[in-house]
Structure 1
């Protein structure tokens, strides 16, 4: 991996006597072929007058043929596929529909403003699941309660699945088995002759009060641009062909919720924290884009629209770095082909939302679950804000990626999974950089991933601790 590429060569250590030549060796940055595929996440006409029921109907219509085919492969070509309106009690059949989980603890603005019940606002929770939750399957016309062999706590609202079983006399459907759409078809990954790396980082958190995170961030920039380490490290850095920043570039501290309600005379000579953070981000990007291409995705705390898909940050915010053609302002979700390797991922809002409304805690497990469901954000628009699409759901996976990532995770994780038709996908959870000082390196040739850690002095650490750059 990268640590082997950047291993010290004979005579290249910083402890060796410097060469007599005035100028050291020059390492050529590896170039790559790049094709963006994020057009489907571009929102042109922004109309919020439509109902959100249309996106559920479009999702079910798009995924029904795939799930019907998967059901016939799993339960035999003679399996009876019916709609809810055609159900007969006791008849074994298959139904394709959208899951809805009725949750007592789910926050509701209607409950909070209800005067007749005099309810107090619910306190924020880490999890909103309970034993009283009910699982319901619905199609275009009807809905039915589910029981049996289906994990209620693991399922989330908005998932389209196929179930097999029979309706009982009490009006509930007893599930004997179920299946998901699973991974879509995948293009063949080209064979590369040499190691090429893409660096993934997220959660830079600019505008916070953590000075140690700024030191680690500058170390990351210096490493990527070849200004850190000996000749071995610099030759390894030359193999990094692209940097991808996956959201939350600004800190949550820059979100001043009281600024709009304060009196004007109190804010007359003050400046929003996000202004200084964006200026700092522009200066950091300037160092990167002068050396290699950089893709910048927005996140939850960045100055763009809140609902998914988040549109690219505006170029006018980056007067220094936007001059370079190597700066690519991308959307969230992000999809692109880098040297024939298909990348797909988000800044983490979809994974964090599923974590709150299901029993799953591991971000890698949630990533794999969304891939098996063939949908990026099944909980949108129920508990995750999204644009009210009318005719098509862009979050449905039409082609299987080679690298599927999620940003702003609590810890680094990677896993290589295989699909039913031989698909191979690398799952990566990118840790929040401001708290972990960790980025990720993906090898395009081998589809392996490793963390790169930048540790620095902090107030809590011992005074004898050393600054460390490890991979």
Structure 2
């Protein structure tokens, strides 16, 4: 037996060379930070977000449409540009830009909820907003500040659309007053920054790997212990020496991991110890309302276990922690960082509070928003905890949303993520079916720049692909990712679907030089009875 594979051995005087972890170059953006409490207001109208989005993306969509449809004609009639939706005339070939709105029978309506009771909980998630038995009940509208125009035509079946997307539509109005679409254009990719653009003065170290995990689902029970311990043992290098890790078929060397990104849902479903809340029936507790938490229903074990898990990792590896749907953060997007007060042990590694001069330097432990945007090892990353992908899928008919596309050309979640990049909007369905803060001066969900890595956490399974500007989708991650310092023909983006760790035991590693991806799976023996 090789000596470096022995766990039990007699004492030895042999000296071993210390193993150092590769450094991480980390430069987050604060795109989704909301104003402090006294400046955070919810009295504004949400409709302003759509007008802000339209004002920002309409010129880009019109530029794409102008290049594609300039000189286009049918039977001698040339297509002309129309400024507003209400300026469309019946029988006239034209094109117009606006915001997609989809009227769907199963889509939740907050106005209906308000008629039932004075204050409501978040609407329960639906697997789809489509009425598959009556597909004709879905109506697709194009709207701007002047009004709405109903879209029809077979073209709508071949282009993924969701509420909030900005598009330009070519067609003509029929006798029923509907606009028959012939072609549709989207803003397409935003300009992609060059690698190291914001870190020009730093040493460019291309070595290392960025680790992604999501859906830890910590419930504070004994079922979490073994999987978290195995994950921390691997990240801390307790599973074997680098020589063992380098062997073919073995685990990648954990010392090459420069940063761990936890993409939301670190805590599982709330565990209550009292019977005062009937969560199954969704009933409210009878009697007077009490402010604060109910000690009979509050369980501190999940957050305590998460704090212990982070505190064990942080002396060795920097961590970026995103909030998620089940985490102790605000429900509406963008979710703000989980407060450092929740981590009495791990907060020692946080950056000090920002001074009056602006944002402070990021700490070794960075609790961030959801969605989140930033630079890691020179690459621009944009990611979320997965609510945006899940919600857009409810607008589309891809068959089984957790399976393969029935047409066999792409996985549905990859197609949704590609569509978001081409729409230049990371959360298009907010504030319609995803609760959102009512922004008044700008829409942060609009992508000002195209990321090099676009990821979504808490997905059913791992999936990755590389997409390029004006190129077909490439599956299975077989495409080499070029260095962004080199000139290229267009943006290239690595799409990454990060699975739920609690369900799959998978940790995703992204090479910091090539953006190639590999997966480490942590499995446990289930026992003969459970396997049966």
Q: Same fold (TM over 0.5)?
A: yes
Is 2:173 the partner of 1:146?
no
* TM-score, normalised via structure 2 length: 0.77
User: Helix, strand or coil: the match of 1:238?
Assistant: helix
CA drift of 1:154 comes to 3.9
Is 2:192 the partner of 1:186?
yes
Cα separation, 1, equivalents of 2:172 and 2:502 = 51
Where does residue 338 of structure 2 map in the other structure? 313
CA drift of 1:14 comes to 3.8
* TM-score, normalised via structure 1 length: 0.87
Where does residue 520 of structure 2 map in the other structure? 452
Where does residue 287 of structure 1 map in the other structure? 312
Where does residue 258 of structure 1 map in the other structure? 277
User: Helix, strand or coil: the match of 2:167?
Assistant: strand
Q: Which digits, 9 at most, give the CA deviation of each residue in 1:342-370, with x for residues without a partner?
A: 11100011111112232242322211111
CA RMSD after TM alignment: 3.0
Is 2:208 the partner of 1:172?
no
Q: Which digits, 9 at most, give the CA deviation of each residue in 1:80-135, with x for residues without a partner?
A: 321122222222221110111111122335446769xxxxxx99742220211111
Q: Which consecutive unaligned segments of at least 5 residues does structure 1 have?
A: 1-9, 116-121, 465-471
Cα separation, 1, equivalents of 2:374 and 2:528 = 40
Is 2:201 the partner of 1:163?
no
Q: Which digits, 9 at most, give the CA deviation of each residue in 1:283-335, with x for residues without a partner?
A: 10011111011001100011110000011111111111111241111111111
Where does residue 96 of structure 1 map in the other structure? 97
Q: Taking structure 1 as reference, are residues 460 and 204 closer, same or farther at Cα in structure 2, changes over 3 Å only? A: farther
Where does residue 467 of structure 1 map in the other structure? none
1:402 corresponds to which of 443, 452, 457:
452
Cα separation, 2, equivalents of 1:314 and 1:32 = 23
Q: Is contact 1:135–1:152 with CA below 8 Å preserved after alignment?
A: no
User: Helix, strand or coil: the match of 1:252?
Assistant: coil
Q: Is contact 2:22–2:207 with CA below 8 Å preserved after alignment?
A: no
Is 2:232 the partner of 1:232?
no
Where does residue 393 of structure 1 map in the other structure? 443
User: Helix, strand or coil: the match of 2:421?
Assistant: helix
Q: Which digits, 9 at most, give the CA deviation of each residue in 1:426-447, with x for residues without a partner?
A: 1011111111111110111111
Cα separation, 2, equivalents of 1:187 and 1:461 = 54
Q: Is contact 1:418–1:424 with CA below 8 Å preserved after alignment?
A: yes
Cα separation, 2, equivalents of 1:381 and 1:220 = 36
Q: Taking structure 1 as reference, are residues 62 and 233 closer, same or farther at Cα in structure 2, changes over 3 Å only? A: farther
CA drift of 1:459 comes to 5.4
Is 2:509 the partner of 1:441?
yes
CA drift of 1:188 comes to 2.4
Q: Is contact 1:12–1:231 with CA below 8 Å preserved after alignment?
A: no
Where does residue 356 of structure 2 map in the other structure? none
CA drift of 1:181 comes to 1.0
Q: State how many pairs are aligned.
A: 447
Is 2:208 the partner of 1:196?
yes
Q: Taking structure 1 as reference, are residues 208 and 352 closer, same or farther at Cα in structure 2, changes over 3 Å only? A: farther
Q: Taking structure 1 as reference, are residues 276 and 144 closer, same or farther at Cα in structure 2, changes over 3 Å only? A: same
